[in-house]
A and B are shown apart, each in its own frame.
Chain A
Amino acid sequence: MKTYRNYVATWVMLFLACLASLLFGAGTLELGQAFAVLTGQGTEDARFVVMELRLPRLVIGMATGLALGVAGALLQTLTRNPLAEPGLLGVSAGSAFAVSLAILLGASTATLTTLISQVGALAGCGLVVAATRIQGAGQDPVRLVLAGATLTGLLLSLSSLLMLIDQRAADEIRFWITGSLAGKRWDQLTATMPSLLLAGAIVVGVARPLASLALGEKVAMGLGHKPGLIRLMVIVAVALLVGGATALAGPLVFVGLVVPFVARSLAGADIRKTLWLCLPIGPAMIIAADTLSRLLVTPSEMPLGVITAVIGAPVLMVIIRARRIPAL
């Protein structure tokens, strides 16, 4: 009964966030006009603002939040580390660096960016999982997070180096690297969609074996699963999701931490229930954050990455304070 209520509540929250995202925002559009568009009326200008500017942004935001939330939940279960977050562990930074490199080299088509971003994420993800398998350090969540922060710092420095070399690319990279949904168009979504769908299919297939892997490698083997294969599939799924999200919205830190944290505190330890709850919570968080980013400093915009960091940092503290993380 309680789970059922949670599902309903989170979906209602998502709906409200979407509504707010379409109604509020920069520009001269009145609230009433925006509402009129949603009910099928409204002026031509209002239709354009809502349908061509705000709607793509909304949908892209939903895709990003969904991808990052699910990726976070997967990575945390795989590494058995409640702090394992694609942004904190440097996976997002990996894909961001790859994209910076691609922008510098002149790549501009959305498809290519997505692909490069996912390759970068795959490399980052591989590094993280390799690190977790190092005896001692890998079992220590805090050290892993620090290692991720260091990797992020290193990759950001490399990106900065690229930006110094090419001023033209610098402006583009700098805008993109703080994370934002502003000015997104439909074609970016269509370029990313296939890989996100593929990742979704993998997640559906791997959720059950992953739940048994969470009980331990030997238990999973005893239940007839192949831990190595599960791990590989999860890594690929996370890379596709994070790479896709980063290509869409830039590297966003803390989303993959906050969303599964909320989902887990509602659903409990089972990865399958957590994943179901991530579906509404991830998009709701991104869309709420994006709407806030438009409202807080009107008429200009606050980068989305700033809002997620401001939301996420306290959650990180809550996790650290509440849980007895091993080796803390």
Chain B
Amino acid sequence: MNSSLDSTDTGQTPLHLTPGHWLWRSTTRHWSLLINKRSIVVNATLTLILLACALSSLALGTLSITIPDVILALQGKGTTMHTFVLEELRGPRLLAGALAGASFALAGCLMQTLARNRLATPGIIGIDNAATAFAVASVVGVGISAAPHTMALVGAAVATALAFGLAGATGTRGYRFIIAGLAIGAVSGAITQVMLSSVALDDANAAYPWTVGSLNARAPAAVNALIIGLIVGYTLSLFLNRALATLQLPEPVTASLGTRSGRVRVAGLILSVLLTGLAVSVAGPVGLIALLGPELARTISRPGSIPLTASALSGAILMVLSDLAGRLVFSPLEIPVGIIAALAGSPYLLWILLHKSPDINR
């Protein structure tokens, strides 16, 4: 063994060290890029699926429009009726749903990775509920009259800060953090109920679907804020990706590899809170998307990688599909997307809780 350390590479067939990657190296500068083939394939497939879901979502509803007609209308050659339905009703709704789903799932993926726990998603630790409570407060006019999406962000930040404060610290497994979040979520949910029960019944009925998660009540300002937030959050999270990857290894190894895990955690947490708050202000607390999106992405991605893009795409797909199902199943009655997501996602979450290890690596 001693001698083999010194010997030069004399192997017959040189071992390929980066299987499943495309390598590009610059000859003049010391630049090199390593691109994961599987992630390209996965993301391309997910994008195609998302497009298909989006088209279906545009075409189907109380007024069915054929796919060719949808495409004609999108090109500006459709009938007035079709153009109206697509541009005024379904198009914005689709956009809001896809963006919110992507934000939820991206936030979930970040938080799972930095907590090293697949249960640590914003919904489970009560950020959704707190953001909802704050947003409802601004809707029913309790306290400051800031815009709902601003209030949702404030709520998300307050909940996270509280969870940290109550739990003492994150800890590596983050279990205390989860329970603190659970308590905060319960209190926030209760406060939302109080506010809804203290306003006129009609207002409460109008706000109700949104408090369980719905794309009906989206405000254009909130959607605009979400677009900007998602672009910024996604870009910044890509910069974190390399450091996040090392977080999969045991904590001392992460540190030994030169990752400032404390800083990375704080940065990831801030992004996660930002994305969740903005998504809640558009779609209400559809927290399970933040669990299901990354789970789906992880199962189809290469082991050991952090599937940020795939999570966002999966979240968007799940959200669009849930909304579509909610509109179609009991048509003309519309089921809020949050209920559909909970009905579809809860059994899966239960299964994870009772049968799988919460450790993200398993």
Contacts and interface: CB of A to CB of B under 8 A. Distances in A.
B179 A316 contact: yes
A19 B184 CA distance: 32
A157 B342 contact: yes
Interface string B299-320: 0000000000000000000000
A102 B243 CA distance: 53
**Residue of B182, B201, B330, B333 with highest tally of chain A CB at under 10 A:** B182
Nearest to A167: B205
Interface string A305-324: 11001101110110011000
Interface in B321-362: 330, 333, 335-336, 338-339, 342-343, 346-347, 349-350, 353-355, 357-358
A306 B182 contact: no
14 contacts: A143-B119, A154-B343, A154-B346, A157-B346, A160-B339, A164-B336, A165-B333, A178-B190, A253-B186, A297-B198, A309-B186, A309-B189, A321-B176, A328-B175
A156 B208 CA distance: 13
B343 A146 contact: no
B224 interface: no
A302 B183 CA distance: 19
B190 A309 contact: yes
Contact of B346 (A145, A150, A164, A314): A150
B145 interface: no
A178 B338 CA distance: 19
Given A146-B178, A305-B193, A313 B353 contact: no
Contacts of B353: 137, 143, 146-147, 150
Given A153-B346, A321-B176, A147 B212 contact: no
The bracket for how many chain B residues form the interface is: 35 or more
A131 interface: yes
Given A305-B190, A306-B191, A317 B346 contact: no
A317 B180 contact: yes
Contacts of A164: 330, 333, 335-336, 339
Contacts of A328: 173, 175-176
Contacts of B357: 136
A254 interface: yes
Contacts of B350: 147, 150-151, 154
B355 A134 contact: yes
A83 to B, nearest CB: 8
B187 interface: yes
A180 to B, nearest CB: 10
